[in-house]
Structure 1
Amino acid sequence: MGLHFKVPHTLILLLSMMVIALIATWLVPQGFFSTTLSDSGREMVVAGTYQTVSERHYLTPWDLLQAIPRAFAAAQDVIFFVLIVGGVLAIARATGTVDALIGRLLERHGEKPQRLIFMVVFCFALASSSIGTAGEYIPFVIILVALCKAMRLDAMTAVGMIVAGYGIGYGVSAFNPFTVLIAQQIAGIPVYSGLWLRLAIFIPFVLIGFHHVWKYTKMVANDPSKSMMIGVPCPLENQTAASYPTLALRHKLILGSFIITLAIAVWGIASKGWYLYELGGVFIAWGVVVAILGKLSADEAANKFIEGVSDLVTTAILIGVARGIALILEDGQILHSLVHGMSLPLSYVSAEISAIGMLVIQTVLNTFIPSGSGQAYVTMPLMAPLGDLVGVPRQVAVLAYQFGDGFSNMIIPTNAVLMGILGMAGVPYGHWFRFCLPLLIKLMAAASIVLVIAVMFGYGLDVQPTLN
């Protein structure tokens, strides 16, 4: 009898990673770079200032246990946003609007799922590339899972569409204010310079993501037994709709209010610096509007909201524990040591290999620093001057950071947005890892080719700062 490896529960995987992080704090040298405040008030490391600590500080298993509730507090913005969105969407489902929308989409795209998949991947990639949307996709998860279920596809397809768009959009971002703008400012090159290359590679990378999702979708459509989700309960298992309601006027009004809500959210992000607390408030307001337009009583709306929230308690727990991994590394004083140790070998290889090395380093570090802007403040002050030494233009160093941060967002379990999406869709992390790893390898290979060509043709030399 052959051995069958069973992927443990996602919570067990995350707790295991916390234990590994704790052990790493006992083995890896502890040390720090000096930091300075940037113009925006964020702490930024200073290159060439790394020093090990004079006396090692040991974390204990008791510190690990305390890190779990602290991690919940640190991730509270994402946790509460996910719970609020889940509750509000349960209200919207109670009005029949979601089912009516799915019925209309089935009429248009039921026979051509490839068109729907491309539209979703492209639109989400475009939004992430331009304004840095991520957590804002969480409201779409249940809608797309329900739509895929109606098309006899699985939840993996729904998550693939969303996450491929999100990760690729961040990776080849043209204007993202949370990654491109910050990284270029730190690197000392003009903001939004080098735009032509990022725009040129956008569609090719989107097509890589679309092809990966469509290939899996086609395989499942031809042979449902090949679905990765066999034996995994769907979050909508008991919500069957053999016939979908007609898209009535009240449904159209609710959908119109949803579009207005998204527009307000985008405006707030772009002009007011809103993030998840403000977006949570906007969605609560939309929930009230939905209840009124859908003619639900106050008690009905309250009960549906609580049902929607309770369905996502598991997701909230996973998001909180995921944050604990980075917390252990920070408390153990080895985060800067990891950055320093990984950057040292780059000074001994060619510029082209160094650029690929930067991509690998940024990819690995995103596991420990899952914030795009946070990663820029820790790594770019080191990578920019290191690039000067090994012949990698600073524009290329920024591009390597973008690729590493964006693409790995699709697979790292410390990414709270990813864990929220997987939790809402009912997709276990182990299953998702098997689906996403081949896509990540394809994107990393394509990114490596782009970086080598960029170095060979001197991409960014026109804006390279003059060194004194």
Structure 2
Amino acid sequence: MTEKFKVPHTLVLLLAMMLLAYVATWLVPQGFFETVTLENGRQAVVPNTYTTAETQIRLTPMDFFVAIPRALAAAQDVIFFVFIVGGVLAIARATGTVDALIGNLLERFGTRPYMLVFMVIFCFALASGAIGTAGEYIPFVLILVGLCKAMRLDAMTAVGMVVVGYGIGYGVSAFNPFTVMIAQQIADLPLYSGIELRIALILPFVLIGFHHVWRYAKMVQLDPGRSYTKGLPCPLDNSNNADYPSLNSRHKLILFGLVFAIGIAVWGISQHGWYLYQLGAVFIIWGIFTVIVGQLSANVAANKFIEGVQDLATTAILIGIARGIALIMEDGQILHSLVHGMSIPLSYLGAEAAAVGMFIMQTLLNLFIPSGSGQAYVTMPLMVPVGDIIGVNRQIAVLAYQFGDGFSNMIVPTNAVLMGIIGMAGVPYHLWFKFCFPLMLKLSLAAAIVLVGAVVFDFGSDVQPQVKAHVPSEVVVIEQS
């Protein structure tokens, strides 16, 4: 019987979700909150202002199909960044640098793959938690795929290291400027307050993620036939290269250029608000540097770049279609209705249950609002007054938000970075879901325990603002950060 059922292609799944969102625009009441423009130029909702839309918008079938190219255009920054990274890494592979690096790392970790898994997850979690890195990890995917392949692991293990580190880093971030800091500003809390608990949570949650990835990796090592990606083509090729070139001075100089480029990118993000356009430019510069140092001819470099881009055409389409789900809901005026509908039951729960409910709500909403900062601007102005009424300290509301936003980044198909990572590694979404969903359950249980404990021990009471007994009618104004 199982032979007769075939899981649809990821593109089919995403289009089906778009269609479901389209149908929902006809069934869900349409409405919206009033919004205000903050000093930093972002829009934030005003609590207690939800109204049903006077004019009901009925999207036509043509609107549905037009949303597909619109979604591709809306995701162009991620799409072209992935193209650039893929092309530049193809150039680096042509110089032998990638294979030499894999060989060098294999010598160091070949007998201790568990150390590699832990170090990658831990380091990526620290970076994501500190400065909000995410798309910057895409260049490491193919390198880790090659390394895992040499260790008799699989592409799923490589993706697990990257995505689990990134998701846990966002979920237990100590001071991510794109999520925690914005949420604390909206909640009128001192910046960096509550940092002691968040720092204490990093290692336990990383260990949960490491245990999940390593348990799977060990299973694949012992029996490659149990790999979730068995039979799928490897994005590097299907050959088994046992003779890796030595890491010579030219390769080291190219790798130094990569580290320097990433350092410049991190500096630009933190100091000047750079994002994917600027990061793409940085990687183009590194690509030119690689061509010169690697002594490749212009024609060879151009051909390799185009080959690298061509290999990611499917990934680019998936990234764009994923954006269409939220786009249709915005066009159909039901996004705010869903937020409003989810927030109402929280006011009838006890503090402990409400804190966990906030986490569940933020997790579900991340499917429709995959931007961490965007989710904060939409949901936190609503969660703050609800929490004030039912006895959930604002610091706990922020914690519930970051748990919901961060952990679900690892599994929601509307997350363009996730789709880029699994696409580059050649891992279909349904197989990634099979791998990641049990981990989501483990992390969710741990998060719920933390939130209940936070309520019991009155976490955040030392910085809780004095509030009135009614729901405030104005949103907190956020100053430029």
Measured against the shorter chain, the TM-score band is over 0.9
Cα deviations across residues 85-136 of structure 1 (Å, max 9, x unaligned)?
0000000000000100111111110111100000000010000000000000
Question: Matches of 1:122 and 1:146 in 2, distance apart?
Answer: 20
Report the RMSD for the aligned CA atoms in angstroms. Answer: 0.9
**2:259 match:** 259
Question: Matches of 1:81 and 1:238 in 2, distance apart?
Answer: 26
**2:473 match:** none
Question: Matches of 1:411 and 1:52 in 2, distance apart?
Answer: 32
Task: Give 1:3 shift.
Answer: 6.0
Cα deviations across residues 31-85 of structure 1 (Å, max 9, x unaligned)?
0000011221110000000000123211121101000111111111000000000
Cα deviations across residues 266-291 of structure 1 (Å, max 9, x unaligned)?
11111111000000000000000001
Query: How does 1:101-120 map onto structure 2 within 5 Å?
Result: 101-120=101-120
**1:462 match:** 462
Query: How does 1:134-213 map onto structure 2 within 5 Å?
Result: 134-213=134-213
Cα deviations across residues 330-370 of structure 1 (Å, max 9, x unaligned)?
00000000000011111111100000000000000000000
What SS does structure 2 have at the residue aligned with 1:231? coil
TM-score normalised by length of structure 1:
0.99
Which amino acid in 2 is paired with 1:17? M
**2:277 match:** 277
Equivalenced residues, count: 468
**1:395 match:** 395
Task: Give 1:238 shift.
Answer: 4.2
Q: Percent identity?
A: 71
Which amino acid in 2 is paired with 1:140? F
Which amino acid in 1 is paired with 2:14? L
Question: Matches of 1:450 and 1:461 in 2, distance apart?
Answer: 16
What SS does structure 2 have at the residue aligned with 1:427? coil
What SS does structure 1 have at the residue aligned with 2:462? helix
Cα deviations across residues 208-246 of structure 1 (Å, max 9, x unaligned)?
000000000011111111110112221122454220001
Task: Give 1:4 shift.
Answer: 4.4
**1:32 match:** 32
Query: How does 1:413-428 map onto structure 2 within 5 Å?
Result: 413-428=413-428
Corresponding position: 1:448 with 2:461? no
Query: How does 1:76-91 map onto structure 2 within 5 Å?
Result: 76-91=76-91
Question: Matches of 2:449 and 2:245 in 1, distance apart?
Answer: 49
Question: Matches of 2:92 and 2:326 in 1, distance apart?
Answer: 36
Which amino acid in 2 is paired with 1:159? V
* Unaligned residue ranges in structure 2 (runs of 5+): 469-481
* Unaligned residue ranges in structure 1 (runs of 5+): none
Task: Give 1:5 shift.
Answer: 2.8
TM-score normalised by length of structure 2:
0.96
**1:223 match:** 223
Which amino acid in 2 is paired with 1:463? V
Which amino acid in 2 is paired with 1:22? Y
Corresponding position: 1:359 with 2:339? no
Question: Matches of 1:6 and 1:450 in 2, distance apart?
Answer: 39
Which amino acid in 2 is paired with 1:221? Q
Question: Matches of 1:137 and 1:362 in 2, distance apart?
Answer: 24
Corresponding position: 1:293 with 2:293? yes
Question: Matches of 1:32 and 1:209 in 2, distance apart?
Answer: 38
**1:12 match:** 12
What SS does structure 2 have at the residue aligned with 1:392? coil
